[in-house]
Amino acid sequence: MSETKQVLEILVVNHKEGEETAHLFDPTEITIGRKGDNTLVLPSGSVSSHHARIFLKEGKLYVEDLGSTNGTL
């Protein structure tokens, strides 16, 4: 019997341009920030270099702010 692979879809909305882009990730851990070494790169001045991470623990998704300047909602 094959295992079902979990996938996390994140929808990024650019309010200035009115664009929406869907990104698919392995939900084990995703880092978000402005720098190129993040899993999800958001090139915006309001996003810190290493802004936040999303991770899966015991079947639940968590969001952790990584000390960003503007915070994470």
Query: What are 29-54's pLDDT values in tens digits?
Result: 999 999 999 999 999 899 999 999 99
- Coil, strand or helix at 33: strand
Per-residue pLDDT for 9 more than 60?
A: yes
Percent of the chain scoring above 70 in pLDDT: 97
**Which residues of 1-73 form beta strands (DSSP E)?**
8-14, 19-25, 29-33, 40-41, 52-57, 60-65
For residue 13, what pLDDT is reported? Answer: 87
For residue 48, what pLDDT is reported? Answer: 97
Per the prediction, the chain carries an average pLDDT of 90
Which of these CATH numbers, 2.130.10.10, 2.60.120.340, 2.60.40.1120, 2.60.200.20, describes 26-73?
Answer: 2.60.200.20
> In 3D, which of 52, 53, 34, 31 has the Cα closest to residue 43?
34
Does the pTM surpass 0.75? The reply is yes
Distance CA 37, CA 14 (A): 21
Which residue ranges make up each domain of the chain? 26-73
